[in-house]
Amino acid sequence: MEYAPGEGGVIKAYYNTAAHTGMFSKTIRVKTNSVKNKDITLILKGKVFAELEVKNNTIFFYDLVPGKTKVFNIEVKNQMGKPLEIKNVKMIFPYNASNFFSLKVKPVKGSNGKEFIRFELKPLTNVYQFSNSSLTVKVKTNSKQVPVLTFYLRLKIKKPVTINPTALFLYTNTGGKTAPGIIELDTELDKELKIVSVQCKNCPLKFKVIDISPKSKQILVEPDYTKGKKGKIFAGIIKLVVDVGGKKEFSVPVRGRLY
């Protein structure tokens, strides 16, 4: 565009509001043939109105327990002029997350009049591969401007019982006898861990439970020469029954030799 001396005009600038909500600032550079001001910098500032604005889209579920529901509320600013509705909820990543988690999402109002989106997440059994990972959730709303909200659920799942090692090998010769082994058991739950029983059929072994703390135990596994002769090679399964808010049975394979 050209202007004669003394003339004026309008420079039109546009901002795509589909890609952003809230405050924005953009710099526009205008090049001219002026001797004094060849480059003119214009700053475009404003605020994009959004029908729905969430305080954050990352939710931290850091104390999940399998079989128990954890609730988390995300504050939402509803400027639609009508009540917020949740039409659909879908866990899109990992693709099979719905097989391991139950998720309910609904709008709620607080006592102070503020609006929230409530997430009710319950891990099912065998979900430990998702610990220290995240779920991506798409929430479909009744807003024409913001039809879909994306949330990221950061996870940490408490293990009822951790056993170490998962397999025991007793082949060390100490002073002419088979050296004992130790099985360690711990819980991340806020409950006491109890050892109900320890047994291994046809194994020349004896067991002693060592109480380290209410949430940590050790099982001393020693050779029992009354159940086997020297030189015998044995193998079996140690069956552990523990109680941590409910009885659970675990198996630890064992192999060894009586020296």
Tokens of 255: 């192999």
All structural domains of the chain, each given as residue ranges with its CATH number in brackets, are: 1-48 (no CATH), 52-157 (2.60.40.10), 162-257 (2.60.40.10)
- Asked if residue 253 has pLDDT above 90, the reply is yes
* Whole-number Å distance between alpha carbons of 73 and 76: 9
| H or E element in which residue 71 lies | strand 70-78
Q: How many Cβ atoms from other residues are within 10 Å of residue 64's Cβ?
A: 21
Spatial separation of the C-alpha atoms in residues 37 and 197, rounded to whole Å? 88
pLDDT category, 17, cuts 50, 70, 90? low
Per DSSP, the three-state class of 184 is strand
Q: Note whether 199 and 249 are within 8 A (CB).
A: no
In this model, does residue 22 exceed pLDDT 60? Answer: yes
Q: State which H helix or E strand residue 225 sits in.
A: none
Can you read off the two tokens belonging to residue 171? 């082949």
Instruction: Retrieve residue 243's tokens.
Output: 């109680």
Number of CB atoms found within 10 A of residue 74's CB: 19
* Dist. CA 141–CA 222, nearest whole Å: 62
pLDDT digits (tens, 9 = 90+) for 59-76: 999 989 989 999 999 999
Per-residue pLDDT tens for 25-72?
888 888 888 777 788 888 888 877 789 999 899 999 998 998 999 999
pLDDT in tens, 63-109: 899 899 999 999 999 999 999 999 999 999 999 999 999 999 999 99
Q: What is the pLDDT of residues 133-149, one digit of tens each?
A: 899 999 999 999 999 99
- Confidence category of residue 14, pLDDT binned at 50, 70, 90: confident
Cα–Cα distance measured from residue 124 to residue 116, given in angstroms and rounded to the nearest whole number: 25
Distance CA 252, CA 196 (A): 15
pLDDT of residue 35: 73
pTM of the model: 0.67
Please count the CA atoms within 13 angstroms of the CA of 162 that sit on its side-chain side: 11
Burial of 36 (0-12, 13-18, 19+ CB in 10 A): exposed
Cis peptide bond N-terminal to 204, omega within 30: no
